[in-house]
């Protein structure tokens, strides 16, 4: 028997034998609960004898290979799992241009930013801003990280909770607010004590679940289409799903926009992000941390390519069956349909929550760390370890409550293009961080610290105005209202659409603003 026939025989047997078992929403839900219990077991084991140091930076003795693998899940999240395949129908493989930019960004993080952080022995990376500029720069950097990460992480959380709700929990009569509350309580439980030390191990487990789920779902769908990898690629080519390069200058998916945008998205959302850097600086040495980052970039290229391949296969299957679902609804609709609930329904659910939690648990932990260190000034506090621990736990609980409120707000908004929203919001809010860090690294000038907040608020606001003027259709869809500026936008920008380069534009505006309030003087900051 040839390899293709063997594969078809195996997956055919798998589908026919277990399909009747997993049709029940109750059983799907039981797998979710079982998965949580496993995470709690890992958390209990890894959080024994944990203290504030292990919570914040894992006592600086994390294994770089575990960190690199676990960060795959953190970098991708449930949004990638659903939205990247869903976008193939509209933009083909254009997303891969962004991925190429990611690799360039990771190189900057590894060889420019990490040496700086290790040299200064930082716990919070925003402490650099205070040492370089002053306390207002420090607070501003931390504030914009907290704002951006809170909104981004809750958007990701909402997407997955909504999928679980629509396809499983609504059938059990469980309301959305109860689902969100229970999931956040469970995340809170397994991150409460161990922090980074626990997350490194749970993220490794969850990344494994996500990648196994990705590969199995892809193979099952290919088997259903009755084709192997070569045949699948031919079908993808015939349907023009494999178009990677876009040279239309006016398009937001233009190659250079995506490349530059992807590079700066990685620099800001990884290199200037406390959640991502918190894990990196927990590694024993700078050299190991650099190996971690570059290994991560290589793995992400492969994994994102698989997600795009999966998206094309999903659309091929939808076209052969007459399925109308598209975008973020496509993957869950197919995976949890009657035709597949037996083979990939459970696998999809486990993979989806495996993709979700590395981004959410890390976000809550890093937000807690940043708030304690950057806002509450734990490093300057003379309080004893027990008092700091109580404050840290209170902050941790507070962010869980904020997450619940934000998820409910996203439910009200109910935007179908979450990944576009996250990239857009990141472009607006990470700009001040890009401006501050680049100004500190690339110049020797001294800022008037009292005016830093003015620049860091004005920069994003100006960027937002420019983006609204350039992309009115997007904001009309987001706000569910007509702005009436389409003609003006066309005349002003000649059809040009701002894409991922939005974050670079914001950084440049902030950088210029900082230059205006700076001097070459070595006089004390004020």
CA proximity to 79, closest of 433, 424, 431: 424
Find the helix packing angle between 135-164 and 418-429, rounded to 10°: 180
Which residues sit opposite 283 in a β-bridge?
62
With respect to residue 147, please indicate whether it lies within any of the assigned structural domains: yes
With respect to residue 406, please indicate whether it lies within any of the assigned structural domains: yes
In sequence order, the 6+-apart residues with CB closer than 8 A to the CB of 395 are 368, 371, 372, 376
Question: Which residues form the domain of 150?
Answer: 3-412
With respect to residue 486, please indicate whether it lies within any of the assigned structural domains: no
With respect to residue 101, please indicate whether it lies within any of the assigned structural domains: yes
- For the CA atoms of 166, 169, 175, 181, the dihedral, rounded to the nearest 10 degrees, stands at -100
Give the angle 429-136-122 at the CA atoms, nearest 5°.
80
pTM (predicted TM-score):
0.80
Rounded distance, CA 506 to CA 460, Å? 6
Rounded distance, CA 319 to CA 311, Å? 12
Rounded distance, CA 479 to CA 450, Å? 35
Mean pLDDT of successive 10-residue segments in the chain (526 residues)? 43 45 62 74 66 52 72 70 81 90 94 92 88 93 91 82 79 86 82 64 76 85 85 88 87 88 88 84 87 90 91 88 76 73 68 70 82 82 77 88 89 66 81 94 92 95 92 80 84 82 91 94 53
CA proximity to 80, closest of 374, 423, 439: 423
Rounded distance, CA 497 to CA 472, Å? 10
For tokens 């401006």, what's the residue?
Answer: 435
Rounded distance, CA 60 to CA 281, Å? 7
- Report the pLDDT value the prediction gives residue 184, as an integer from 0 to 100: 87
With respect to residue 465, please indicate whether it lies within any of the assigned structural domains: no
User: Roughly how many angstroms between the first and final C-alpha of the chain, as a whole number?
Assistant: 78
23, two tokens: 């049709």
With respect to residue 296, please indicate whether it lies within any of the assigned structural domains: yes
With respect to residue 524, please indicate whether it lies within any of the assigned structural domains: no
Q: How many domains does the chain have?
A: 1
- Report the pLDDT value the prediction gives residue 524, as an integer from 0 to 100: 47
- Report the pLDDT value the prediction gives residue 20, as an integer from 0 to 100: 43
Q: What is the largest CA-CA distance in the chain?
A: 80
Q: Cα Rg for the chain, rounded, in angstroms?
A: 23
CATH number of the domain that 307 lies in? 1.20.1730.10
164, two tokens: 């679980």
- Report the pLDDT value the prediction gives residue 273, as an integer from 0 to 100: 86
């Amino acid at each position: 028997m040839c390899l293709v026939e063997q594969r078809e025989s195996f997956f055919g047997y798998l589908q026919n034998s277990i399909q009747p078992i997993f049709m029940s929403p109750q059983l799907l839900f039981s797998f979710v609960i079982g998965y949580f219990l496993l995470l709690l077991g890992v958390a209990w084991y890894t959080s024994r004898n944990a203290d504030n140091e292990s919570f914040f930076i894992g006592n600086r003795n994390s294994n770089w290979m575990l960190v690199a693998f676990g960060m795959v899940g953190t970098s991708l999240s449930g949004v990638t799992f659903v939205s990247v395949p869903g976008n193939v129908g509209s933009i083909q493989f254009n997303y891969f241009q962004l991925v190429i930019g990611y690799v360039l960004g990771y190189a900057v993080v590894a060889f420019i930013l990490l040496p700086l952080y290790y040299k200064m022995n930082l716990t919070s990376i925003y402490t650099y801003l205070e040492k370089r500029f002053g306390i207002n720069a420090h607070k501003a950097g931390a504030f914009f990280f907290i704002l951006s990460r809170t909104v981004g992480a809750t958007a990701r959380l909402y997407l997955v909770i909504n999928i679980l709700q629509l396809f499983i929990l609504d059938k059990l009569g469980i309301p959305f607010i109860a689902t969100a509350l229970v999931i956040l309580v469970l995340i809170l439980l397994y991150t409460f004590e161990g922090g980074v030390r626990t997350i490194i191990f749970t993220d490794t487990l969850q990344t494994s679940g996500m990648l196994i789920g990705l590969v199995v779902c892809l193979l099952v769908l290919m088997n259903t289409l009755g084709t192997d990898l070569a045949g699948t690629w031919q079908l993808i080519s015939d349907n023009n799903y494999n178009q990677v390069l876009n040279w239309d200058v006016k398009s937001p998916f233009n190659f250079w926009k995506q490349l530059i945008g992807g590079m700066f998205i990685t620099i800001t959302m990884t290199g200037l992000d406390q959640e991502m850097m918190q894990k990196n600086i927990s590694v024993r040495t700078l050299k190991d941390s650099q190996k971690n980052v570059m290994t991560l970039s290589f793995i992400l290229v492969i994994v994102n390519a698989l997600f795009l391949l999966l998206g094309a296969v999903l659309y091929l299957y939808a076209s052969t069956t007459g399925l109308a679902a598209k975008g973020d609804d496509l993957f869950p609709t197919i995976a949890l349909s009657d035709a597949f609930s037996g083979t990939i329904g459970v696998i999809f659910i486990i993979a989806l929550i495996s993709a979700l939690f590395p981004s959410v648990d890390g976000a809550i932990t890093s937000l807690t760390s940043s708030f304690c260190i950057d806002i509450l000034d734990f490093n300057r506090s003379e309080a004893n370890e027990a008092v700091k621990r109580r404050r840290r736990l209170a902050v941790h609980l507070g962010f869980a409550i904020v997450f619940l409120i934000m998820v409910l707000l996203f439910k009200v908004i109910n935007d179908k293009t979450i990944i576009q929203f996250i990239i857009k919001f990141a472009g607006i809010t990470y700009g001040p961080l890009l401006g501050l860090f680049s100004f500190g690294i690339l110049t020797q000038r001294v800022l008037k610290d009292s005016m830093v907040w003015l620049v860091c608020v004005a920069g994003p606001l100006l960027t937002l105005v420019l983006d609204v003027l350039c992309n009115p259709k997007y904001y009309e869809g987001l706000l569910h209202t007509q702005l009436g500026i389409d003609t003006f936008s066309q005349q002003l920008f000649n059809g040009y659409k701002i894409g991922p380069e939005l974050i670079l534009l914001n950084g440049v505006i902030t950088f210029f603003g900082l230059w205006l309030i700076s001097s070459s003087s070595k006089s004390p900051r004020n």
